[in-house]
Structure 1
Amino acid sequence: MRERVENLYRQGRRHEMAGEVEPARRYLEEALAGAEDAGLEDMLLRIRSILGVVSHKEGNLAETRLHLEVALELALARADLMAEAYVRQELGFLLLGEGRPDESRSEFLRALALAPAVGIVNLTGNALSGLGVAALAVDRAADAVPLLLGALGIRTEIDDFEQQHVDLVHLARAASQLGQHEIAAGVAGFLVRSPETSKGMYAHDRRAFDALVATVPTNAAITSFAEARSAVAALVSP
């Protein structure tokens, strides 16, 4: 049974990473049923965590919370710090989607504190990004910029192009809030032209991006990640 559950989980995870949420859910729910029947708690933790991500990508926040809360309970019971960090970051993103940025900040700070112990650098990137988005939600763009630039630097280092798009969305928002409209427009124009922009987004990211492109022109000439990163780096220049 374990082999079958692990195979179903791998297939579901593969579809989730490709942004194919419908087949991801199908495989993962079958894996969940098998893991519950066999009492495979380690697999239940992994499956619930990814089903939380899939549900969030589908915009089903109630189901997202259900999966993530069960996953967190399992992670704490097993003293699994890596799983706890991942679940807390996803709870942070869920709270952003629910319009609760102050509460999300607490989860991102916990994930950030756990990141060095588990040795996964993108946990730090995700937590910094979430903290930056939470700051933007309460109109603290100046505080958001260094957090988002830190996240973008990590994504650049590990060639995570999907999440670079997301970080650039929020850095363009910060630029707009700070009155740096040329930077905001240039980065927004680059993102509009990239077919990869929406792949890593949750609904709150898409709403933020839609609001941005509704308020700035998107015909600027930024044509690469390097140019976009250089543009937003100027947000902290003296």
Structure 2
Amino acid sequence: MILGKQAEFDPIRWLDKALIHICARFGDYQKDSPSSFSLSSRLSIFPQFMFHLRRSQFVQVFNNSPDETAYFRVILNRENVANSAVMIQPSLISYSFHSVPEPAFLDVAAIAADRILLLDSYFTIVIFHGATIAQWRKAGYHNQPEHQAFAQLLQAPHDDADEIIKERFPVPRLVICDQHGSQARFLLAKLNPSATYNSDSRPPGGDVLFTDDACSISDSRFLQKLTTPSIC
């Protein structure tokens, strides 16, 4: 007797179907107009959250050992909602001379030469210096009395990172890197690829991602096309 082969469970496909079903159930739209599709304010960021879940280490297990994957998932199930949300969709804080520290979109467009970014993905904390900031730091400007404002700008993300590390267990890994440096991959891997090597233009002083992954905007447009016919 030949036993039937059981279909392999595909978590990404399951998440996609669940997202389409939820959007079809709770979305508003005008018939034959995918661009009119919208979700209520309570669900408006849900597709974006699912986008980052699909790319997280909880679903994308490639390049992780089975032990690492099990560890990540155990911590996810153990922590509270706030910490679990950070694991799936990390927080990003921007520091610059032009404004006080403020939240930034988890997108490659957040990178700027004159900006410092602090990424908190729960397991890893990244302090990322833009190209100009890194050049000034290497030149030692922050050690000169007339550049105290620059010294304070450099120190601010470190102080915030220290506060996060003190309150978290297991202790996250701290990565300090510069734009175009090898360690910058810890930040780039978490960003939405709105600008890639295939993009027509490169943001001035910004960066691009060398990936073929679709960005969240493309995913949203595709979701609209899939969802609208299903509820017509």
Q: TM-score, normalised by structure 2?
A: 0.31
Instruction: Tell me which of the two structures has the higher relative contact order, counting C-alpha pairs closer than 8 angstroms and 6 or more residues apart.
Output: 2
Which structure's residues are more often helix, by fraction?
Answer: 1
Q: TM-score, normalised by structure 1?
A: 0.31
